[in-house]
Amino acid sequence: MAVVDSEACITLGIDIGGTGVRYGVFKGDKLIEDGHLPSHRDEEPEALADELSRLILDKDPDICGIGAPGMVAPWDGVVRYPPNFPRWREFPLKKVLEQKTGSDVWVVNDGVVNLLGEWRYGAGRGYNNVLMLTLGTGVGGGLVADGRVVWGSEGCGLEVGHISINPDGPRCRCGNYGCVERYIGAEYIIERAVGLMGEYSGSVLSGKQDLTLLDLADAAEGRDLLALRVWRQTGEYLAYAIVSYIHLFAPKIIVIGGGIANSYRFMKGVVDEILSERVMMYERRGIKVCQAELGEMAGVYGGYILATKGEGLWHFSE
């Protein structure tokens, strides 16, 4: 990967999420345009590849960095078995886009590009040990340890959403049981809220059709008891996972990103409570848990970093 640092260089950063694709065009290191595309999540991967090809041809970048769901090794850019994209199996996204557009394209896991964005430009600035959690359709993330991105032997980074917090819990799309994603992924939060409606007949949400996370957040702002209970439960599940992440990875800061992070204020109290109770020497260690600063643009900035400054970040051992 060539390091591109010219003020005239045009870079395209792309973050593929379950509910949509966010992109940004950079001239040098300045964001000059951003926008959204559909994710075509339930279609064959070629549908999204065609959408991205049209975008790349239209913007004509010098280089492109993409975050994609699933297990993605940066050296081949093959998207492998993303649980929330059911028709994707082993799709060579990098190769397909380069053949269709003639552009230089780099693809890694979407959690990693969000990590890169927050580490360099957001809440993780100045830290050498950063854990990024992205909460949305699924749960993803990435890790910087001692100033280096952690890739693992297969180059796919971390699958933090598929840590089991209940071995007897429901089956996840990944094949495991009781994954944290199966409790705090967006559709499962909604599912839990719908299941509790019978206990809260006075809730503003009771009987509401097509319930959304925004509905739950608005109701919680109004101190609706059903909404507050759902967010507290979500915070509990998140905290149980974070306890294990801290003991495994020893981060100095944990950054909560993704669409669900917009409601982190309803979860923060119980997260702090559980971490204080369960993490060894939690207060003495000064570990910070906070909401991401870049919001849904974290992966876009991370795609820019991937494309232009990658050689200084990758240290592959295998």
What is the CATH classification number for the domain harbouring 145? Answer: 3.30.420.40
The Cα 274–Cα 98 span in angstroms is 47
Pairs from 194-202 (Cβ < 8 Å, separation ≥ 24): 196/226, 196/229, 196/230, 197/226, 199/226, 200/225, 200/226, 200/229
Residue 59 lies in a domain: yes
- Which one, of 265, 255, 181, 172, lies nearest residue 216 by Cα? 265
Give the dihedral of Cα atoms 160, 163, 165, 170; nearest 10 deg.
110
Question: Which pLDDT score, from 0 to 100, does residue 2 have?
Answer: 47
Residue 43 lies in a domain: yes
251 and 151 in one domain? yes
185 and 288 in one domain? yes
264 and 150 in one domain? yes
152 and 26 in one domain? no
The pTM score is: 0.91
22: domain range? 10-115+297-312
Side-chain half-sphere exposure of 99, counting CA atoms within 13 A: 7
The Cα 17–Cα 88 span in angstroms is 14
219 and 170 in one domain? yes
Structure tokens at 316: 């592959």
The Cα 127–Cα 111 span in angstroms is 18
Residue 192 lies in a domain: yes
182 and 89 in one domain? no
302 and 278 in one domain? no
Q: What is the full per-residue pLDDT of the chain (318 aa) written as tens digits? A: 444 556 789 999 999 988 899 999 999 999 999 999 999 989 999 999 999 999 999 999 999 999 999 889 888 899 998 888 989 989 999 999 999 999 999 999 999 999 999 999 999 999 999 999 999 989 999 999 999 999 877 767 788 999 999 999 999 998 999 999 999 999 999 999 999 999 999 999 998 889 999 999 999 999 999 999 999 999 999 999 999 999 999 999 999 999 999 999 999 999 999 999 999 999 899 999 999 999 999 999 999 999 998 665 655 444
Residue 3 lies in a domain: no
Q: Beta partners for 67?
A: 15, 108
Residue 33 lies in a domain: yes
Structural domain count, the chain: 2
186 and 262 in one domain? yes
Structure tokens at 55: 């975008």
Residue 1 lies in a domain: no
Beta strands at 30-37 and 130-135: parallel, antiparallel or unpaired: unpaired
Beta strands at 253-257 and 288-291: parallel, antiparallel or unpaired: parallel
153 and 265 in one domain? yes
153 and 259 in one domain? yes
Residue 103 lies in a domain: yes
Residue 157 lies in a domain: yes
306 and 286 in one domain? no
257 and 166 in one domain? yes
